[in-house]
Amino acid sequence: MVAVRARTLLSLSLVVSVSTAAHAQAGTPAPAPAPSGTTAAWTLRMKGDIRWQQVTPAGVLLVSTDGSLAGVDIERGQVAWEKPELGGLPADSVRMVEGSLLMEAARPGLLVVFDPVTGTAVFDSRRLNLAQIVTRRALPQSGTLLVHGRRAAGPPVVALYDLASGEQRWANEGLFEQTGPQKKGLGGLMQRLVTAASEATALEVLQAGPDMIVVHTLMGLRALDARSGAVRWSAVLPTARAGNAARHVRLFPSLDKTDRIYVGFDDRLMAYRLADGQALWSKPAMIEGWVHGIVQHPNGIIILPESPPANQATGNVRIVNGVVQTGLNVARYEDGTTIADKPLRMRGTVTDAMVTGGSAVLAVDAESRSFVNVLDVATASVRLKKDVKIKGRLDYAELTPGGACSTSRGPTRRRTPR
């Protein structure tokens, strides 16, 4: 997304370059002929002074004036829609909603999520009288937007909206209620503090099939009925210290086993049954570092580690040149036990594991450098005695019949001997 600031202007031109590519920018219409090699595709006169403009990932040009925020069809040079209530916003107040092509615009007391193509408001914080928006997550699988926010007075609310029409499907005001018995004294105070912190912390959200949405709060997992928003079940994560909330949580869908989801929390991974939230393993699989992601290989679940902040690392902490060293492992689907007795030592964050047959090419980021190695998944062991440094980011890998690992970044390729 490209944002461009402009001086006081009354018109907007799109210039197409024939010989060179240039960044789009605002400019006053010149009476003289366009420079050689360029042609003005269209010129559009706006109603007010242009403050800034940006092209959205959906291909629509957003133009901010003192009087409104407008969406411009770049192909035709026509204003598709205008929103007067969003006039005069700073450029950094309008941004893309993560995981979607939607945009959000915020000002004190107002947040609007809208479709940049049609201008349709999918969500308006004034509908629920929300003073603070904590979570907004697009769920493309069901065509919905989940929003979690706090009111100036009253309970927090979680609501689901239709992406196409903006219609509210349901609202839940009881997500953060205590599911266990109310404690007294210091225990009760701690319960209230955790509840207040949960209300102000962004949710981790996973669409677990068409009928269920699983969220994580500091109080644990909650499964919501996707049609009504009712809580179906709750589960507490078995953290290293009982009662302490996990610092780093990720929710993962199961690709082949539809009865479960996987939850990564700090240095642990656990499988939970979707029907009732029961843990499917007797204890979580463990690595060194935080769970960055998982790769579901036929021979096991590759648990990719991430270097946590040094002051938040748990377990056997090793720091080299300021980077917390990590350890990778592979968990069995049946019971969560790990194939390797001890996690395989890694230089830092394992950003990806590209599957190729019975192996996976590991991409490791450490000390602002990139490395690769080859993991034999069935034995949870690496083939190369030493990680191989590569330039840039790994985006393709294959293993040749002779055992060589061929990697590439863009047009360049590198062969790594076994």
Contact 364, 373 (CB under 8 A): yes
Average pLDDT of span 247-273: 96
Comparing 383 with 206, the larger pLDDT belongs to: 206
Per residue, the 3-state secondary structure of 366-394, as one string, reads: ECCEEEEEEEECCCCEECCCCCEEECCCC
DSSP-derived 3-state class of residue 232: strand
In this predicted structure, the answer to whether residue 340 has a pLDDT above a threshold of 70 is yes
DSSP code of residue 167: -
Q: What is the pLDDT of residue 65?
A: 94
Question: Alpha-carbon distance 25 to 128, whole Å?
Answer: 38
How many C-beta atoms surround the C-beta of residue 178 within 10 A? Answer: 13
Going by DSSP bridges, is the β-strand pair 130-139/144-151 parallel, antiparallel, or unpaired? Answer: antiparallel
| Torsion sign over Cα 214, 248, 145, 254 | negative
Burial of 200 (C-beta count, 10 Å sphere; 0-12/13-18/19+): exposed
Sheet holding 121-124, edge to edge: 94-96, 103-107, 110-114, 121-124
DSSP-derived 3-state class of residue 188: helix
Burial profile 269-289: b = 16 or more Cβ within 10 angstroms, e = fewer = bbbbebeebebbbeebbbbbb
Of the candidates 290, 299, 361, the residue with the CA atom closest to the CA atom of residue 330: 299
278: its two tokens: 């029961």
Q: Answer yes or no: CATH 3.20.20.70 is held by domain 120-236.
A: no
218: its two tokens: 């500091």
In this predicted structure, the answer to whether residue 147 has a pLDDT above a threshold of 80 is yes
**For the chain, what is the largest distance between any 2 Cα atoms, rounded to a whole number of angstroms?**
80
368: its two tokens: 């602002």
In this predicted structure, the answer to whether residue 82 has a pLDDT above a threshold of 60 is yes
DSSP-derived 3-state class of residue 92: helix
Amino acid in position 107:
R
Burial profile 92-102: b = 16 or more Cβ within 10 angstroms, e = fewer = eebebbeebbb
In this predicted structure, the answer to whether residue 8 has a pLDDT above a threshold of 50 is no
Amino acid in position 130:
L
- Tell me the percentage of the chain whose pLDDT exceeds 90: 62
- Report, in this order, helix, strand and coil percent for the chain, each rounded to 5: 5, 50, 45
DSSP code of residue 341: S
Query: pLDDT tens, 203-237?
Result: 999 999 999 999 999 999 999 999 999 999 999 99
Query: pLDDT tens, 103-126?
Result: 999 998 899 999 999 999 999 999
How much is the mean pLDDT over the chain?
Answer: 86
163: its two tokens: 């992406």
Burial of 148 (C-beta count, 10 Å sphere; 0-12/13-18/19+): buried
CATH 2.40.10.480 boundaries in the chain: 120-236
Burial of 37 (C-beta count, 10 Å sphere; 0-12/13-18/19+): exposed
Of the candidates 206, 288, 278, the residue with the CA atom closest to the CA atom of residue 249: 206
Q: Say which residues have a Cβ less than 8 Å from residue 322's Cβ, sequence separation at least 6.
A: 310, 367
Question: Alpha-carbon distance 114 to 103, whole Å?
Answer: 6
Average pLDDT of span 8-21: 42
In this predicted structure, the answer to whether residue 400 has a pLDDT above a threshold of 80 is no
What Rg value do the Cα atoms of the chain yield, rounded? 26
Of the candidates 208, 217, 336, the residue with the CA atom closest to the CA atom of residue 268: 336
pLDDT band at 313 (very low <50, low <70, confident <90, very high): confident
| Torsion sign over Cα 33, 35, 38, 43 | negative
- Lowest-confidence range among 21-25, 80-84, 183-187? 21-25
Question: Alpha-carbon distance 380 to 264, whole Å?
Answer: 19
